[in-house]
Structure 1
Amino acid sequence: MFMFAVLAFLLPQVGLSVPAGKCTISDPLLILHQYYRSGDFVIAAVVSQIYRFSNTIIYEKHPSQELFNELIHFRPRWTFHASMELLSRRGRFTPNYKCDAENIPAAVIGGPNFDVGLHMAAILGIYKMPQLTYGTAPVMSTKERLAYFYRVFPSSNQQYMGILKLLLHFSWTWIGVIYVDDDCGEQFIQDVLPTFSQKGICFDFIAKIPKIASASQVTEMVGEGFETVRVVWGSSANTVLVRGEIQTMMILRIMPHILEFENGQMMSKVWLLTAQMDFTSFPFQRSWDIHFLHGALSFAIHSKQVPGFQTSLQKRSPTMYKEDGFIREFWEEAFACAFPSSVTEKEGREMCTGEEKLETLPGSVFETSMTGHSYSVYNAVCAVAHALHSMYSSQFKHSTRISHWRRRPLDHQRWQLHGFLRNVSFNNSAGEKVSFDQDGELVAGFDILNWVVFPNQSFQRVKLGTMEPQAPPDKVLKIHEHVIVWPSQFNQTRPLSLCNNNCPPGYSKTKIEGKPSCCYNCLPCPEGKISNQEDMDDCVQCPEDQYPNKDKDSCLPKDISFLSHTEPLGISLSTCALSLSFITSLVLGIYMKHQDTPIVKANNRKLTYTLLTSLLLCFLSVFLFIGQPQKLSCFFQQTTFGIIFSMAVSCVLAKTITVVLAFMATKPGSRIRTWVGKGLSTFIVLPCTLLQATLCTVWLATSPPFPDLDMHSFVKEIVLKCNEGSPLMFYSVLGYLGVLSLVSFSVAFLARKLPDSFNEAKFITFSMLVFSSVWLSFVPSYLSTKGKYMVAVEIFSILASSSGLLFCIFSPKCYIILVRPELNKKDQLMRRNH
């Protein structure tokens, strides 16, 4: 077991401008505190944790003991000076001059700010001395220096990605940012925030905390502080990301007091703190209210309680470690007392006994738990110890006595330690693995903490989740949201941090010109589209078989629609078709019963029977259109209608031509008599019907009708219909039927003044007028309707036009046959003819 020496330097937060010639290298500025304990190896530490105001320099003693009116934030000169001290013999400031290996550090631990590591590396990197920092990793341009530098702090980029995931997890897209005005802060603004913007995070404000170089800048800092406070508490963002370092908390604690000074109202904010920060304070902030931190979230270097830490901590006291100037300085400030040697400087304080108990201090003064920074220092010491053990074990693996090599000068082996340190991997006493990656950064994750402040101004940091960069992408961030205590103002509900309220389902976002992308208006989804989540960029179309509900936030299945036999419209049309079919059959029966009467014989019985049969089939063809469209019904629907109607109109045309030719044949010497006969009607009806049948055959052979779904005509319905297959053929069939009707109407119109006894022309003229009117109005009506109503229009046109032919042509004849049989005699017909 090795014994490790500790050589520590405490860098005061003071500065000095000394006239040239007043100090020499042999008489340097004094470090505020140095602490040394002997051991087999020396591990040095350069830390900066005390802020101190100074007195006026009167040059009656060394200037570093009476510095003038200056408050310094981690000045480089002290780090450079402490680093050169490490290269000198203890007690003498002679850098780079050592006659033996006594007190040569095996490694140096620096922190907590990045400045300490950066300036330390400028000196110690030349000598290839291993350096471990437990704060923010400094940005180095020299690869050689980087090769000797190790970060007992996970990658900052991983932390920022964790912060981004946390913001997105809570949907906090409208935030404020506060950062320290230093190199790391500027790098954060330039490199990290653009990545946040790309992922949808917007910034209401980006404010900086000035880095003070001297007391003369305090006034300027206060002025900027006032402005920052106004911006922060005047912001609509409920979440504020603070990118800072260990001293940032002291400045952050001043902000609520500035607001109180201005009589402003302090609104609750969810502070999101980076892992570089810790709870620190000026002595005069001891009694200040810290309730503004209640509900804050922070990232922290993953830590775990180390066995024996609490016991060791409780044993620490100025009486036991009198040579430790660190602990005396802390003791006086923590317990508000003074040791005899400093009574004159701290008048009014009680005397320190050295027996005060650390556990009696409130958490706002001293935390007894192991924080992330403390855990990093512990791991740094353990890493050096294991690397030294591995190095000497490999060099002297055959040696049985450590004493043979324990005193071997380390000067010649210092550079060799790097290979072992970079590859070190071990489990510490807390049972956790410690190792470095290829960039010399600690392979570890972050804890996510929730700050809970109690009425007595003590606080507790509760672990609510982790950020594990090495985990699978979906498990990198783990949050137990149910344990979070939110700021009091939010009544224990998750705070919103948005530029405007979320767009609810049924709405989509629309950009507001001149404002960040997180600020937008909400527009209702257009017809046929929905949004089923909050803040959707665009509304989406429902599937074809669904339609939006009233609120346009979900899709409902469409109803199936077709002209059914069971619905009122279908029942009405079916009833009409059956009634007209019955009437047609009745008329046909009347004609057949009275087939030998003059009025029946005078109007070509066979042609009349053919016409009535065609009309009967026309009425019955309606049933092909009613009901759910099937393959067979669609196949014959339009063609059957076209052929039967063509036959009916052809019969009307034949009857009209027959009447005309019959009267022309009665003129003396007329040769037309030879054309008048039973074969004339066949010669007219058959070719006209066959021509329509040919058109229909071509239609069925090339592009037949088929069952189809109409998804778009109605919002809430899917219409089952028969697709015509070829619209051209459909309108060709209708067109041919229209030509036949026009010819028949024209011939009947010309023959309308012939004698009534033998003349049906008047009735045919009127019937064809009705027929043509129906079908002329059919085309625009058919094209302007949708779904099952298109079918209903066609059925109505079939029934109306067929009824027109039936009643206009046959009702007068049936009247004579049934009601006025005395007129149905040959002598009556002859008398009327004359």
Structure 2
Amino acid sequence: MGCKIPNIKCSISDPLPVLHKYYQSGDLIIAGILSQIYILSKPITFSKLPSNELFEDMIHFSPSWTYRASLELFSTKGRFVPNYKCDIQSNPVAVIGGHNSEVCLHMATILCIYKIPQLLYGSTPEINNKNQAVFNHQMLPNVDIQNYGILQLLLHFGWTWIGIMTMSNDNGERFVHNMVPMFSQRGICLDFIEKFPVVTFSSDITDMVTEGIETQNVVLRSTANVVLVNGEIEIIIGLRMFPAFSQYDDIRMKKVWVLTFQIDFTSLPFQRSWDIEFLHGALSFTIHSKEVLGFKKFLQMRNPTLEKEDGFIRVFWEEAFECSFPNSIIGQEVETICTGEEKLETLPTSVFEMSLTGHSYSIYNAVYAVAHALHAMHSYKSKHRAIADERRLKLLHEEPWKLNQFIRSNTFNNSAGEQVSFNQNGELEVGLDVINWLVFPNQSFLRAKVGRIEATASQGSMFTIGEEAIMWSSRFNQTLPLSLCNAHCQSGYTRTKEEGKPFCCYDCLPCPLGKISNQTDMDDCFLCPRDHYPNTEQDSCIPKVIIFLSFEEPLGITLASSALCFDFITALVLGIFMKHKDTAIVKANNRNLTLILLISLLLSFISALLFIGRPETMTCLLRQTAFAIIFSVAVSCVLAKTIIVVLAFMATKPGSRMRKWIGKRLASSIILSCFLVQVTICTVWLTTSPPFPDLDMHSMPEVIVLECNEGSTIMFYGVLGFMGFLAVVSFTVAFLARKLPDSFNEAKFITFSMLVFCSVWFTFVPAYLSTKGKYMVAVEIFSIIASGAGLLACVFFPKCYIIIMRPQLNNKDQLRRRND
């Protein structure tokens, strides 16, 4: 068939030939369509007829070669007759295909027409056609297993800031579509998603290199130390370009490369001497493999001079050992001649690996899967009908599709001792190994197994890794690399979102006062338990110490000593007054009131001691009530004294009726009524909401205050209010009577005492409310002592001075003379 284009002659009757083929005859043929050689060519400009000149300058892949290779499987050996099965004897029973998804996809287009079983390895496309899918058997696990493993790997090492590089094809789009939502849900975000340049027949080498450099710049400028690379085997070729064309220093290349199982090491001949140190410390997923007995010996026996029909090995041998066979370079001088005796084990692993890779192990299992399926099919037919071997083989070639069910349903142990089986979707039920790449100066490398993903284990135990066995890049000084958008927020800080940046980028703010964070990267700080408080760094809680105003501490000792001291002075004054009870100054202004007042002051100083020491139920009940009742009696005595002074002056006027009010009954009535009112208030308080021992955990951040809870705050201030009322009345009456003629001017002294008393207790309220813990108790004790001391000093010290120092003034004549 021909075509005409103006001024150009063209023909498609002779498609591009398959460059290398290998055929070995046998009763049953297993074919392989593998893309093992990269062709360099110039881009097609449609300015001249395609020819072998295409094979010159550029890397590319042509689907037509896969189509032709697939069609040739059904043609007579050495001939190409499309769409005809000319030689049943040489037709394959199954085809192994790979290593990239394009080879698998294009071969399926042809082979599925003939219902040939296809065992795919390396990388497989998503086949939406159910009729085609039944003929595809993947020598790979379900990709969901790898996706789960990738997620667990990143979470295990805390890598939340990563980049993704992927292929510019459907598989790459599918990978991004599946992984990005999964990452987002688990707190992993992306700095970039870059695609490798597309390599096609029509690509321009300059454009491709420019695009590749732009991609490289994005990757190497990134602050992400971890780059997830998804693609196919040739991706390594692209990665090896990075150091060669990079404008950055080598340190930028030393990232943690995480490679998917579809990727394997390969390179172009001109990359042989290129440094691969950037791969040191990389982690990759690979199909679980096990060393096969005899494999290394098989490799050591390879000799291209003895395998002349195998064109692949001769091309490889020349490239690997940098030599040429004499008959392959006619007319050219060669420095090094290939002898065929060269040893593969002398090659660096960057050129050839002597151990089975994951892809090689998949091919190995594919061959055995077909063999065991054929055996199962043979056994099945033998049971149902006895026919000759020749008829059986002919039937197999005529009905190859029947082999598919035996491949998918068959389970066997390979020669390495591992079980091989497929699931209902035609995927190999096998786990993945996690590999750590160790690169050596001689361009060799070692794949060290450091982890495993078990396909059949429960999700919680699927992923295991030996972190201590991993060798990291020299950039990280053999410490676990960090890959974060920003540094961890340490304990004592909380994360806050940065506007306009991915969700895993954040600022670190100190915890608010009273809260802590005890882990890194916490989204919120939290309160300590009630009996703990935050330390200075706000990263842990410290148990609070229980405190109360005790007799052992300096403040307690000072207050107790003061109370006892004034109590002793009061007792001394009481003794003086008792000793001189018959003197004029003691009898003046009601001797009984004076004695009751001194006894009240004596008891009030003692009541202050109830506020010191560990609060108990009884002391809590007695503290406020005893103090309130005693002080009410003391103030009522002062009030009675003041009223008697006023009444005594009024009674001296002619015709006054006040004389009948002056006497003991009036004083007793005043004291008794005040006493009863305060007792009533205290009784109601104790019966309704009495004080009780309590722990105050909130007033002071670092301690727990053991205190007496007043029960009813209203009743507490009611008791103080009544006492204050008495004090104000006493002060008012005494102030009005301060200039009245009186023995030793007692009204003036009472005015001073009430002024001191009121000043102390009016100051007490704000001071009490502004202090916390045991200092509230100290304020009240101080107020009790200060007000009692004020009364003692203002009322009794002038009289004591006269009694002791000026006894000559202590007689009736002096009293009358002073009054006159």
Report TM bin, short chain. Answer: over 0.9
Match of 1:760 in 2: 746
Match of 1:512 in 2: 498
Task: State the Cα distance separating 1:635 from its structure 2 match.
Answer: 2.4
Specify which of 237, 248, 265 is matched with residue 279 of structure 1.
Answer: 265
Q: 1:514-663, aligned counterparts within 5 Å?
A: 514-663=500-649
Change (3 A) 1:122 1:817: same
Match of 2:187 in 1: 200
Distance 1:543 1:158 in 2: 43
Specify which of 173, 176, 180 is matched with residue 189 of structure 1.
Answer: 176
Task: State the Cα distance separating 1:214 from its structure 2 match.
Answer: 2.5
Change (3 A) 1:333 1:780: same
Q: Deviations over 1:117-157 (max 9, x none)?
A: 22223333344432221122312222332233222112223
Structure 2 stretches of 5 or more lacking a match?
A: none
Change (3 A) 1:488 1:90: same
Q: Deviations over 1:673-709 (max 9, x none)?
A: 2222222122212222222222222222222222222
Distance 2:369 2:299 in 1: 21
Q: 1:75-154, aligned counterparts within 5 Å?
A: 75-94=62-81, 97-98=84-85, 101-154=88-141
Match of 2:799 in 1: 813
Distance 1:687 1:798 in 2: 22
Give the 3-state SS of the residue equivalent to 2:35 in structure 1: strand
1:53 aligns with 2:79: no
Specify which of 447, 470, 476 is matched with residue 490 of structure 1.
Answer: 476
Task: State the Cα distance separating 1:283 from its structure 2 match.
Answer: 1.3
Match of 1:12 in 2: none
Match of 1:736 in 2: 722
Task: State the Cα distance separating 1:785 from its structure 2 match.
Answer: 0.9
Q: 1:209-608, aligned counterparts within 5 Å?
A: 209-214=196-201, 216-259=203-246, 267-344=253-330, 348=334, 350-397=336-383, 403=389, 406-407=392-393, 409-410=395-396, 414-608=400-594
- Structure 1 window deviating more from structure 2 (106-115 vs 24-33): it is 24-33
Change (3 A) 1:414 1:302: same
Change (3 A) 1:754 1:130: same
Distance 2:677 2:391 in 1: 119
Change (3 A) 1:357 1:803: same
AA paired with 2:337? M
Q: Deviations over 1:442-496 (max 9, x none)?
A: 2222222222222222221222222335434443332223332222233323333
Give the 3-state SS of the residue equivalent to 1:786 in structure 2: coil
Is the 2:63–2:103 contact (alpha carbons within 8 Å) kept by the matching residues of 1? yes
- Structure 1 window deviating more from structure 2 (92-101 vs 250-259): it is 92-101
Is the 2:221–2:252 contact (alpha carbons within 8 Å) kept by the matching residues of 1? no
Is the 1:132–1:152 contact (alpha carbons within 8 Å) kept by the matching residues of 2? yes
Specify which of 683, 687, 702 is matched with residue 716 of structure 1.
Answer: 702
Distance 1:128 1:640 in 2: 106
Give the 3-state SS of the residue equivalent to 1:344 in structure 2: coil
Is the 1:30–1:64 contact (alpha carbons within 8 Å) kept by the matching residues of 2? no
Give the 3-state SS of the residue equivalent to 2:682 in structure 1: helix
Distance 2:738 2:762 in 1: 22
Change (3 A) 1:640 1:441: farther
- Structure 1 window deviating more from structure 2 (395-404 vs 297-306): it is 395-404
Task: State the Cα distance separating 1:814 from its structure 2 match.
Answer: 2.1
Distance 1:156 1:821 in 2: 114
AA paired with 2:146? Q
Change (3 A) 1:95 1:703: farther
Change (3 A) 1:68 1:423: closer
Change (3 A) 1:634 1:71: same
Change (3 A) 1:419 1:651: farther
Distance 2:394 2:614 in 1: 101
Distance 1:640 1:150 in 2: 96
Is the 1:26–1:94 contact (alpha carbons within 8 Å) kept by the matching residues of 2? no
1:34 aligns with 2:21: yes
Give the 3-state SS of the residue equivalent to 1:693 in structure 2: helix
Distance 1:612 1:164 in 2: 85
Specify which of 810, 813, 816 is matched with residue 824 of structure 1.
Answer: 810
TM-score, length of structure 1 as denominator length = 0.91
Give the 3-state SS of the residue equivalent to 1:245 in structure 2: coil
AA paired with 1:632? M
Structure 1 stretches of 5 or more lacking a match?
A: 1-16
Is the 2:61–2:201 contact (alpha carbons within 8 Å) kept by the matching residues of 1? no
Distance 2:351 2:795 in 1: 113
Is the 2:532–2:543 contact (alpha carbons within 8 Å) kept by the matching residues of 1? yes
Change (3 A) 1:80 1:368: same
Match of 1:7 in 2: none
AA paired with 2:161? W
Identity of aligned residues (%): 62
Task: State the Cα distance separating 1:573 from its structure 2 match.
Answer: 0.1
AA paired with 1:776? F
Distance 2:39 2:32 in 1: 20
Specify which of 650, 668, 678 is matched with residue 692 of structure 1.
Answer: 678
1:155 aligns with 2:142: yes
Change (3 A) 1:611 1:56: closer
Change (3 A) 1:412 1:170: same
Give the 3-state SS of the residue equivalent to 1:326 in structure 2: helix
Distance 1:584 1:182 in 2: 102
Distance 1:632 1:731 in 2: 20
Is the 1:104–1:410 contact (alpha carbons within 8 Å) kept by the matching residues of 2? no
Q: Deviations over 1:331-360 (max 9, x none)?
A: 222222333442138753533333322222
Distance 1:192 1:163 in 2: 9
Change (3 A) 1:758 1:332: closer
Change (3 A) 1:469 1:621: farther
Q: Deviations over 1:72-99 (max 9, x none)?
A: 5443222233333334454454455447
RMSD (CA atoms): 3.0
- Structure 1 window deviating more from structure 2 (399-408 vs 801-810): it is 399-408
Task: State the Cα distance separating 1:789 from its structure 2 match.
Answer: 0.9
Distance 2:7 2:416 in 1: 52
Is the 1:172–1:201 contact (alpha carbons within 8 Å) kept by the matching residues of 2? yes
Match of 1:3 in 2: none
Change (3 A) 1:542 1:772: same
Q: Give the number of aligned pairs.
A: 813
Distance 1:333 1:95 in 2: 33
Is the 1:256–1:266 contact (alpha carbons within 8 Å) kept by the matching residues of 2? no
- Structure 1 window deviating more from structure 2 (134-143 vs 241-250): it is 134-143
1:668 aligns with 2:643: no
Is the 1:634–1:722 contact (alpha carbons within 8 Å) kept by the matching residues of 2? yes
Distance 2:666 2:230 in 1: 105
Match of 1:4 in 2: none
Change (3 A) 1:193 1:343: same
TM-score, length of structure 2 as denominator length = 0.92
Is the 2:486–2:505 contact (alpha carbons within 8 Å) kept by the matching residues of 1? yes
Q: Deviations over 1:47-70 (max 9, x none)?
A: 11101235999xxxx977554657
Match of 2:156 in 1: 169
Is the 2:511–2:525 contact (alpha carbons within 8 Å) kept by the matching residues of 1? yes
